[in-house]
Amino acid sequence: MTLRRPAPRAIIWGGLLCGVLDITAAFLVYGMFGAKPIPLLQGIAAGLLGRRASSGGLATAALGLLCHFVIAFLAATVYYGISRALPWVLQYAVAAGVIYGVIVYFFMNRVVVPLSAARKFPFSLKMMIIGVTIHIFCVGLPIAIMARRFSARTP
């Protein structure tokens, strides 16, 4: 597999950009509410480990970061697969990226998190609006734009 092919490049760059932007946004937004990066990353690891993730120090923070990037790369992979079946998502990448960001937000918060061992929080309209906005700009759009960029260069 060479990186000249569109699939690996779109997925790698889309996943990397999504992962970096999303975790940076999480650090900034939750930082405004007093959260620190290490406990935030441990909170992601809690999806696998439950409450014991908070006592695991840097090891569980690293696991949380790894989980975060695995999810980002999975999101990029799913979008790329969708783009093969529905080529219009490449042509209208911005609109498709916005829609995909919203879909990923609701999938994560209504399916993945409830099925995980992560701590559950009560619904907050404010946090939902913030979360959807982050997922549009830091997940959906970067993935869609990278898929379009690298698919346009198909040899």
pLDDT, one tens digit per residue, over 102-149 is 999 999 999 998 888 887 889 999 999 999 999 999 999 999 999 999
Contact 18, 76 (CB under 8 A): yes
Q: What is the pLDDT of residues 41-95, one digit of tens each?
A: 999 999 999 999 999 999 999 999 999 999 999 999 999 999 999 999 999 999 9
Q: How far apart are CA 13 and CA 90, in angstroms?
A: 15
Contact 18, 143 (CB under 8 A): yes
pTM of the model: 0.91
